[in-house]
A and B are shown apart, each in its own frame.
Chain A
């Protein structure tokens, strides 16, 4: 029989699981059902209780590891605790988000457990084998900046998968899962100590989680364009994102940069204003459900990728869109 399939939860600043964690739990449950095995979610944190309760709706079993408070914020400690639990129970597959913390955890787990990693999955399905690999998950991935899609497998069925946002829709299970606390020896001598923290000036919605993302590029021109971008995002209830050019110009923070060296997002709706759509940006947003763009240049690369491409001056069009949205809302 196939071993268990685990999802590793990542918690947001509010201490609750990210949307991607619920998606990973949903994938784990679906794979386990297909494989006839068990699924679980593991949450390792200093204050895991609220997250564990929330995850119990999505997983038949929630494994809780309570970390010492001083290790609470360290993703390395979280991954180390998960590695200890996984070494003991030997789950077949470990799933986590393809976020900065998720990737770091995947690297740590791969090294500790001697397992392979398939990164940035956009879809997973169970296979009984006979297609060139052992029974196990078949993982769809986008490589070479989206120029090729591959279907991959683990040679021996065992492995670690990082999951892109939006690969599945998170759905609760039929029954509430059990919550089980696991005692892990607290030995995390990391050699790293936190000496200062600076919370982001504005606690904006995470662009990886937001269903609507409004991105601005070089065409914003400066602070006036950024103000328009923020107004439009506000009117749509979306998160603000940026191209590399707008970050390099100092208009928007790197934390919201989409594309190569930035973040990869898959919102239901992406609206780009003053974004030309260079390949380095497109690799981070091309899987959005719907793409709308407003740009002066009729021949910008994004024109070929947008579902609605509006040619014109964003300084005229965006205020009109904001006004129309506000008129609808009243």
Chain B
């Protein structure tokens, strides 16, 4: 199966991440790493290929230093990567991101596209569904397990409000995954060495035929007007008492906060 995994380089969650005064991400504050949710979908893709053969292509839209984050995905076992990077994309909105990634998918052949549930930085969680819509692909989200279901179809166990359901989708299709797809593998030493030789193809908007279109930072549909740090929570009370005394303190506090009548 030819699988595309959409990945996003995001700032490493070290506590140093921040926005610039203009509300855009300060990319100098924290090194880019592979978005956590995307590692689960990559793991699912690698398991499918391990079992049935095929190849995994990573596709990302990011500044040029996002290449380092893609290396990890290649070390885990992806076959190749495509990185769309262009100065015109700085400050892009979610709509532009969908349009650019959809444009990449139009240039390659695939059976299955996998997307993470959301990104650790922006976290809107809308891009996967948007790309499926733009490309008119069958869309399955909340995936907990993915398996082949004969020629040209997959079976997906997915989470829904009432529990779980199992669906079959005809390929090509787009699946949005969850953490239940399985613990991402660690890159082996061999994988890390091998990743150096793998191709990271760089594409610009012009390469995708999108130059001059209403796309990227200048065409952003959304803009940040102001930003601030989170409101500090006032210091709480600490209790260190015998269990029955502590229990009484907890109940009294819950009564005071009207959680208990």
Among residues 157 to 213 in chain B, which have CB atoms less than 8 Å away from a CB atom of chain A?
A: 159-170, 173, 176, 178-180
Q: Write out the residue numbers on chain A whose beta carbons fall within 8 Å of the beta carbon of B133.
A: 107-108, 111-112
CB <8 Å contact, B167 and A153: no
Most chain A Cβ neighbours within 10 Å, of B17, B123, B239, B253? B123
A143 at the interface (CB under 8 A from B): yes
Give the shortest distance, in Å, between B29 (CB) and chain A (any CB): 10
**A260 vs B38: C-alpha distance when bound (angstroms):** 12
CB <8 Å contact, A117 and B227: no
Among residues 113 to 138 in chain B, which have CB atoms less than 8 Å away from a CB atom of chain A?
A: 117-118, 120-134, 137-138
Assuming the contacts A192-B167, A196-B166, asked whether A119 and B126 have C-beta atoms less than 8 A apart, the reply is yes
CB <8 Å contact, B229 and A190: no
A38 at the interface (CB under 8 A from B): no
B94 at the interface (CB under 8 A from A): yes
B238 at the interface (CB under 8 A from A): yes
Listed in ascending order, the chain B residues whose CB lies under 8 Å from chain A are: 11, 13, 15, 17-19, 23, 25, 36-37, 40, 93-95, 98, 117-118, 120-134, 137-142, 144, 155, 159-170, 173, 176, 178-180, 220-231, 233, 236-241, 243-244, 246-251, 253-254, 257, 259-261
**A255 vs B237: C-alpha distance when bound (angstroms):** 31
**A294 vs B25: C-alpha distance when bound (angstroms):** 36
A19 at the interface (CB under 8 A from B): no
Interface residues on A, range: 35 or more
In the complex, residue of chain B having the shortest beta-carbon distance to the beta carbon of A112? B133
CB <8 Å contact, B165 and A107: no
CB <8 Å contact, B173 and A200: no
CB <8 Å contact, B138 and A191: yes
A2 at the interface (CB under 8 A from B): no
Interface bits A285-301 vs B (CB < 8 Å: 1, else 0): 01001111010001000
Among residues 298 to 329 in chain A, which have CB atoms less than 8 Å away from a CB atom of chain B?
A: 298, 303, 305-313, 316-317, 320-321, 323-325, 328
**A292 vs B250: C-alpha distance when bound (angstroms):** 8
Give me 20 A-to-B residue pairs in the complex whose CB atoms sit less than 8 angstroms apart, sorted by A's number.
Answer: A73-B160, A100-B117, A103-B125, A104-B129, A107-B128, A147-B229, A148-B229, A149-B228, A149-B229, A153-B223, A158-B221, A192-B168, A198-B163, A236-B260, A269-B257, A269-B259, A298-B240, A307-B253, A308-B249, A309-B239
CB <8 Å contact, A145 and B94: no
Pick the contact of B126 from A106, A145, A260, A286 — CB < 8 Å? Answer: A106
In the complex, residue of chain A having the shortest beta-carbon distance to the beta carbon of B131? A111
Give the shortest distance, in Å, between A103 (CB) and chain B (any CB): 4
A185 at the interface (CB under 8 A from B): no
Q: Write out the residue numbers on chain A whose beta carbons fall within 8 Å of the beta carbon of B261.
A: 328
Pick the contact of A144 from B17, B132, B137 — CB < 8 Å? Answer: B17
Give the shortest distance, in Å, between B181 (CB) and chain A (any CB): 11
**A316 vs B244: C-alpha distance when bound (angstroms):** 8
Assuming the contacts A106-B126, A313-B243, asked whether A261 and B250 have C-beta atoms less than 8 A apart, the reply is no
CB <8 Å contact, A152 and B246: no
CB <8 Å contact, A155 and B223: yes
In the complex, residue of chain B having the shortest beta-carbon distance to the beta carbon of A293? B236
**A308 vs B109: C-alpha distance when bound (angstroms):** 56
Listed in ascending order, the chain A residues whose CB lies under 8 Å from chain B are: 12-13, 73, 76, 79, 98, 100-101, 103-108, 110-112, 114-120, 131-133, 138, 142-156, 158-159, 162, 190-201, 203, 206, 212, 236, 244, 254-255, 257, 260-262, 268-269, 279-280, 286, 289-292, 294, 298, 303, 305-313, 316-317, 320-321, 323-325, 328
CB <8 Å contact, B129 and A108: yes
**A116 vs B40: C-alpha distance when bound (angstroms):** 27
CB <8 Å contact, A107 and B129: yes
Other than the given A76-B139, A116-B222, A321-B251, 18 more pairs (CB < 8 A) read A116-B95, A117-B94, A120-B123, A132-B223, A133-B225, A143-B122, A144-B25, A147-B230, A149-B227, A149-B228, A150-B23, A155-B220, A155-B223, A192-B173, A261-B117, A294-B246, A311-B239, A316-B243
CB <8 Å contact, B94 and A307: no
